[in-house]
């Protein structure tokens, strides 16, 4: 019997029991839709994490003050005052370092006419905005001359602009920070919250020397952010910076580092791996629905074999070979799973679209996930349809004709 004839017989048999065939395919439909929707949500979450990490810079390092020990008591991270602007300049000369941005941070209640707002005050250099990939919305950024002269100028984040100025243009206005007047020269674009929920736009940026000398009265810095030649360069730079700072801070062998280096490339690798595992977990959970659909196909096909035993006997008596019977029932199972797969794809795409439209969850439907779900549905049909098909093919004609 030809393939076309076997397929025609299979389609006619399914059409005679349309309702049962549709209910049988329902399990596959739900399974494929679940796989596509879940994988799309997982891929979207992975993309969101990648975007957040990219905004921080995966080829960047952060150096912070370390701990200090007095009488065996360790006072915690950030308590030493050994990092200086000279350290930052020395780090800038390392081969894998592209840009260096030292900074100090404090907080203050800032006043402008009748309004006031408590916010973070960041003392930075011009390289800070390049390291953070933070473009300007209007005005101008801090320049080297203003850093050298400890100028009383500042650049505002969008949250500070909203709270202190509302709809008024802040450029040229004067803020009062801890009694020091500071002229607004620029406004940054909105950057949003970090992955940990803190508002990056709720900050005022002034020359680092201004914050050191006129606001805090210090000579040390809190942290150094820097970019490297790439992800691999960040790992090399970590070793080079450790060696350099230990030498500059006169730390002998056996002494603990008085600084901490945070490599965002390591964070990126960990986050990407977590997102990948999350995507596989969602896909695996959704695949259980496909297995349940396959079991449903097998059960219904076994019932169909029992109901059509006399038909099978008559066909065998008329010359049908066991493999013809096998292919007919196998094709019925394959058609059920294929139709269920196509309808499941449509339902999955619609479900992913609904999630993307009515929630803040990111969704990313990829052709690969759709193709894999469809092929998996076909394999499920073949696998679970094989047992009923073999059972039908092994019937003896005389026993099948006598079946009541």
pLDDT confidence of residue 2: 56
Domain ranges in the chain?
Answer: 3-52+270-402, 81-257
Q: Mind listing the pLDDT tens digit for each residue in 336-376?
A: 778 888 888 888 888 888 877 777 667 777 787 788 777 87
Confidence class for position 108, pLDDT limits 50, 70, 90: very high
CA distance 82 to 222: 9
Summary mean pLDDT of the chain: 80
pLDDT for 71: 47
pLDDT of residue 159: 94
pLDDT for 70 = 46
Each residue's pLDDT tens digit, 140-181: 999 999 999 999 999 999 999 999 998 889 999 999 999 999
**What per-residue confidence (pLDDT) applies to 379?**
79
In angstroms, the CA 130 to CA 125 distance is 10
Once rounded to an integer, what is the mean pLDDT over residues 272-289? 68
pTM given for the model: 0.58
At 328, the pLDDT band (50, 70, 90 cuts) reads confident
Measure the CA–CA gap between 284 and 140, rounded to whole angstroms.
51
Categorize the per-residue pLDDT at 224 as very low, low, confident or very high, splitting at 50, 70 and 90. very high
Task: Give the pLDDT band (50/70/90) at residue 243.
Answer: very high
| pLDDT score of 8 more than 70 | no
Highest mean pLDDT, choosing among 40-44, 98-102, 258-262, 382-386: 98-102
Are 171 and 186 spatial neighbours (Cβ–Cβ below 8 Å)? yes
- pLDDT greater than 80 at residue 104: yes
What confidence score (pLDDT) does residue 101 get? 94
Give how far the C-alpha of residue 55 lies from the chain's centroid of Cα atoms, to the nearest Å. Answer: 13
**CA–CA separation, 404 vs 401, rounded Å?**
8
Note the pLDDT tens digit of each residue in 33-90. Answer: 877 887 787 777 777 766 666 555 557 788 998 765 544 444 555 456 789 999 999 9
Burial class (CB in 10 A: 0-12, 13-18, 19+), 87: buried
- Buried-state track 120-149, b at ≥16 Cβ within 10 A, e below 16: bbbbbbbbbbebbebeeeebebbeeebbee
At 246-278, the pLDDT tens digits run 999 998 888 888 888 888 666 666 666 666 676
């Amino acid at each position: 019997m030809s393939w076309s004839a076997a397929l025609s017989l299979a389609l006619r048999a399914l059409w005679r029991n349309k309702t049962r065939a549709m209910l049988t395919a329902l399990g596959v439909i739900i399974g494929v839709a679940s796989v596509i929707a879940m994988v799309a949500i997982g891929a979207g979450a992975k993309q969101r994490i990648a975007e957040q990490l990219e905004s921080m810079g995966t080829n960047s390092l952060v150096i912070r003050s370390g701990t200090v020990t007095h009488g065996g008591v360790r006072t915690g991270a950030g308590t030493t005052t050994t990092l200086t602007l000279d350290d930052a300049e020395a780090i800038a000369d390392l081969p894998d370092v592209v840009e260096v941005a030292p900074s100090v941070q404090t907080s203050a209640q800032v006043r402008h006419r009748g309004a006031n707002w408590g916010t973070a005050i960041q003392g930075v250099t011009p390289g800070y905005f390049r390291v953070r990939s933070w473009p300007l919305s209007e005005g101008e950024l801090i320049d080297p001359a203003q850093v050298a002269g400890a100028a009383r100028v500042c650049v505002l984040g969008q949250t500070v602009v909203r709270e202190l100025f509302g709809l008024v243009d802040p450029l040229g206005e004067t803020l009062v920070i801890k009694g020091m007047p500071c002229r607004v020269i620029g406004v940054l674009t909105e950057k949003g919250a970090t992955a940990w929920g803190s508002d990056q736009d709720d900050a005022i940026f002034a020359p680092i020397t201004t914050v050191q000398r006129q606001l805090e009265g210090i000579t040390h810095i809190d942290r150094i952010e820097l970019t490297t030649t790439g992800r691999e360069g960040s790992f090399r730079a970590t070793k080079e910076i450790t060696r350099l700072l230990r030498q500059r801070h006169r730390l002998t062998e056996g002494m603990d580092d008085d600084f901490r280096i945070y490599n965002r490339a390591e964070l990126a690798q960990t986050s990407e791996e977590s997102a990948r595992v999350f995507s596989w977990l969602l896909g695996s959970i959704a695949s259980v629905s496909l297995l349940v659909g396959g079991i449903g196909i097998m059960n219904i096909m076994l019932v169909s074999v029992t109901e059509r035993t006399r038909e099978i006997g008559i066909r065998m008596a008329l010359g049908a070979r066991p493999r013809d019977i096998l292919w007919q029932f196998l094709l019925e199972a394959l058609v059920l799973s294929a139709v269920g797969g196509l309808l499941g794809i449509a339902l999955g795409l619609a479900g992913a679209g609904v999630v993307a439209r009515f929630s803040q969850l990111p969704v990313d439907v990829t052709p690969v996930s759709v193709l894999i779900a469809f092929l998996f549905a076909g394999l499920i049909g073949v696998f679970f349809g094989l047992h009923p098909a073999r059972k039908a093919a092994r019937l003896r004609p005389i026993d099948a004709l006598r079946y009541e």
